[in-house]
């Protein structure tokens, strides 16, 4: 049975609504305010040093195919590719390998030298400068179909001063005739160009052999070494990139008052108390009908994919503006995907400047977001950096809870006591009996209960059981899935329910 959205949950009789309200009042949220942040591990949160893996930076003017090459090298569509110049605004990181050599790749925004224009021009240039400072090798992408342009000369002048080795990559050589045109880029003074077609995958091996030949050998980061994959999500312009930058102490994400600044879902590794966290800043998520076609639609789709591969989602809300319907949509999306949830109330500095506003916002959140009343709340100011480390601490706690497994004897002892305290309703004059239960999955957690009449169990009793599981075993910040089966179980009498 598909999971219910918040509005569907409210279409119930007055009796069931009042019961649900009473139950929600009994369950207390965990709130982590700036004053209480000292109770959490306040340790160094930083980006992992660049020497974890050797790094290759991809640079060039706009629309020469940098993101297409990036996707080809990392073997997945991580960067958004469009014909519109300036699609990539932030530094996009990924790891890959070639012939046993593991390395990181950075995709940068288009660099036009002095001709760089637009509202993000200075920020993009700063991003490229930072990427170059981190790189062990540089791939300078040019367009063989247009030939050398003045903007290419401007970039080449900057790269001739670089201490790292530079490889000129003549992209869009889609056939042998175009490949011969790569020689015209000798004029840039950066050595022999390598002709490739990133779109078709032609001669990529030649490029990789040349670029990786001088890199130091490094051990790859195993997936098990990452304690938590944390996605930073929220509607546009609530401070997601500001939060990431505050965590990293690094302007890796372009921050602007213009909604939609972040377009790619950008992965970054950071270290927290000796644990590695993969951090993803995503594009702002809008309702489907409000998403513009093209780059914005691709950005929102990429953000959704980031949530689906995350262990925990930090849902950022503009606390000064208050909880909106779009915030509830983002929370519901994260819950439906089974990710753990940490609610981040951003801009606490503005909220605390107004008497009584924090209490008002807490009441508003408790009232409008009852369907995630099990999620911890962290109050932060990304602008000042106040309590931002608590976001990672809370996410690690939720990730651990999400992986928890309840021993079957303990689960059934709880189930027996729950039925004594609140017996299930009857069905056609006969009592509904829960025989036993078992946790069938973790990360996200799922529980299967064997019942004599699974189709007759009211959703409110499922919620009661999920609430008892939380009260008995924790699972803070993670949605729980309930499956009901008949005692003589078969696929036909399974009843999978939504998350709670």
90 or 369: whose pLDDT is higher? 369
Cα separations in angstroms, 201 against 32, 67, 205, 247? 49, 13, 9, 37
The residue whose two tokens read 């056609």 is: 428
Could you tell me if residue 474 is left (phi over 0), alpha (psi between -120 and 50 degrees) or otherwise beta?
Answer: left
Q: Is the pLDDT of residue 472 over 60?
A: yes
Report whether 89 contacts 254 (CB < 8 A). Answer: yes
In this prediction, residue 311 carries a pLDDT of 93
Sorting pLDDT into bands at 50, 70 and 90, what band is 318? very high
If DSSP states are collapsed to H, E and C, what string results for 162-225? Answer: CCCCEEEEEECCCCHHHHHHHHHHHHHCCCCCEECECCCCECHHHHHHHHHCCCCCCCCCCHHH
Report the residue count for the chain.
Answer: 500
In this prediction, residue 478 carries a pLDDT of 95
Mean pLDDT in residue range 228-237 = 88
In this prediction, residue 487 carries a pLDDT of 78
CATH 3.40.50.300 range(s) for the chain read 24-42+222-402, 54-212
Q: Is the pLDDT of residue 267 over 60?
A: yes
Q: Please state the CATH superfamily assignment of the domain spanning residues 408-499 in this structure.
A: K homology (KH) domain (3.30.300.20)
Q: Is the pLDDT of residue 33 over 80?
A: no
113 or 451: whose pLDDT is higher? 451
The residues near 116 (Cβ < 8 Å, ≥ 6 apart) are 110, 124, 125
Among candidates 311, 396, 388, which has minimal Cα distance to 346?
388
Mean pLDDT in residue range 416-434 = 94
In this prediction, residue 76 carries a pLDDT of 62
If DSSP states are collapsed to H, E and C, what string results for the chain? Answer: CCCCCHHHHCCCCHHHHHHHHHHHHHCCCCEECCCHHHHCCCCCEEECCHHHCCEEEEECCCCCCHHHHHHHHHCCCCCCCCCCCCCCCCCEEEEEEECCEEEEEEECCCCCHHHCCCCCHHHHHHHHHHHHHHCCEEEEEEECCCCCCHHHHHHHHHHCCCCCCEEEEEECCCCHHHHHHHHHHHHHCCCCCEECECCCCECHHHHHHHHHCCCCCCCCCCHHHEEEEEEEECCCCCCHHHHHHHHHCCCCCCCCCCCCCCCCCEEEEEEECCEEEEEEECCCCCCHHHCCCCHHHHHHHHHHHHHHCCCEEEEEEECCCCCCHHHHHHHHHHHHCCCEEEEEEECHHHHHCCCCHHHHHHHHHHHHCHHHCCCCEEECECCCCECCHHHHHHHHHHHHHHCCCCCHHHHHHHHHHHHHHCCCCEECCEECCEEEEEEEECCCCEEEEEECCHHHCCHHHHHHHHHHHHHHHCCCCCCCEEEEEECCCCHHHCEEEEEC
Sorting pLDDT into bands at 50, 70 and 90, what band is 301? low
In this prediction, residue 122 carries a pLDDT of 57
Q: Is the pLDDT of residue 303 over 70?
A: no
Sheet holding 481-486, edge to edge: 434-441, 446-451, 481-486, 495-499
Report whether 396 contacts 227 (CB < 8 A). Answer: yes
Q: Is the pLDDT of residue 27 over 50?
A: no
CATH 3.30.300.20 range(s) for the chain read 408-499
pLDDT digits (tens, 9 = 90+) for 177-232: 999 999 999 999 999 999 999 999 999 999 999 999 888 766 655 555 788 999 98
In this prediction, residue 22 carries a pLDDT of 40
Q: Which of 91-100, 168-177, 409-418 has the lowest mean pLDDT?
A: 91-100
Q: Domain 54-212 adopts which CATH fold? A: Rossmann fold (3.40.50)
Q: Please state the CATH superfamily assignment of the domain spanning residues 24-42+222-402 in this structure.
A: P-loop containing nucleotide triphosphate hydrolases (3.40.50.300)
From CA 138, how far away is CA 168, in angstroms rounded? Answer: 9
In this prediction, residue 52 carries a pLDDT of 61
In this prediction, residue 31 carries a pLDDT of 52
pLDDT digits (tens, 9 = 90+) for 67-79: 889 988 987 654 4
Tell me the pLDDT of the chain averaged across its residues. 78
């Amino acid at each position: 049975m598909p999971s219910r959205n918040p509005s569907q949950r409210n279409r119930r009789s007055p009796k069931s609504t009042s019961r649900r309200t009473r139950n929600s009042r009994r369950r207390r949220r965990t709130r982590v305010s700036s004053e209480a942040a000292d109770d959490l591990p306040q340790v160094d949160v930083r980006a992992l040093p660049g020497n974890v893996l050797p790094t290759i930076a991809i640079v060039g003017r706009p629309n020469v195919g940098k993101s297409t090459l990036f996707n080809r090298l990392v073997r997945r569509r991580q960067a958004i590719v469009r014909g519109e110049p300036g699609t990539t605004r932030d530094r996009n990181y990924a790891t890959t390998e070639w012939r046993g050599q593991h390395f990181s790749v950075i995709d940068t925004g288009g660099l036009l030298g002095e001709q760089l224009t637009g509202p993000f021009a200075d920020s993009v240039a700063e991003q490229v400068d930072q990427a170059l400072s981190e790189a062990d090798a540089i791939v300078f992408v040019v367009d063989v179909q247009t030939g050398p342009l003045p903007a290419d000369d401007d970039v080449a002048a900057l790269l001739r001063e670089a201490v790292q080795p530079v490889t000129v990559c003549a992209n869009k050589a889609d056939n042998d005739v175009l490949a011969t045109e790569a020689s015209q880029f000798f004029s840039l003074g950066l050595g022999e160009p390598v002709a490739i077609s990133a779109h078709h995958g032609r001669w990529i091996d030649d490029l990789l052999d040349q670029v990786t030949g001088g890199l130091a050998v490094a051990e790859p980061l195993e997936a098990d070494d990452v304690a938590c994959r944390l996605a930073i999500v929220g509607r546009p312009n609530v401070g997601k990139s500001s939060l990431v930058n505050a965590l990293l102490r690094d302007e890796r994400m372009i921050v602007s008052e213009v909604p939609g600044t972040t377009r790619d879902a950008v992965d970054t590794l950071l270290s927290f108390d000796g644990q590695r966290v993969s951090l993803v800043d995503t594009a702002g998520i809008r309702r489907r009908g409000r998403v513009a076609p093209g780059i914005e639609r691709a950005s929102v789709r990429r953000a959704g994919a980031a949530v689906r591969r995350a262990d925990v989602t930090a849902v950022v809300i503009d606390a000064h503006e208050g909880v909106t319907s779009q915030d509830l949509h983002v929370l519901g999306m994260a819950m439906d995907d089974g990710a753990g949830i940490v609610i981040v109330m951003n801009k606490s500095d503005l909220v605390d400047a107004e008497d009584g506003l924090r209490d008002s916002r807490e009441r508003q959140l408790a009232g409008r977001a009852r369907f995630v009343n099990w999620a911890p709340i962290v109050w932060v100011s990304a602008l000042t950096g106040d309590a931002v480390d608590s976001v990672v601490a809370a996410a690690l706690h939720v990730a651990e809870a999400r992986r928890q497994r309840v021993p079957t004897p303990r689960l059934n002892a709880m189930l027996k006591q729950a039925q004594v305290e609140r017996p299930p309703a009857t069905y056609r004059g006969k009592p509904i009996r829960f025989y036993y239960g078992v946790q069938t999955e973790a990360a996200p957690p799922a529980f299967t209960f064997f019942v004599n009449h699974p189709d007759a169990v009211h959703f409110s009793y499922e919620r009661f059981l999920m609430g008892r599981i939380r009260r008995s075993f924790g699972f803070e910040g993670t949605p729980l899935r309930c499956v009901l089966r008949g005692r003589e179980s078969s696929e036909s009498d399974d009843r999978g329910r939504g998350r709670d």
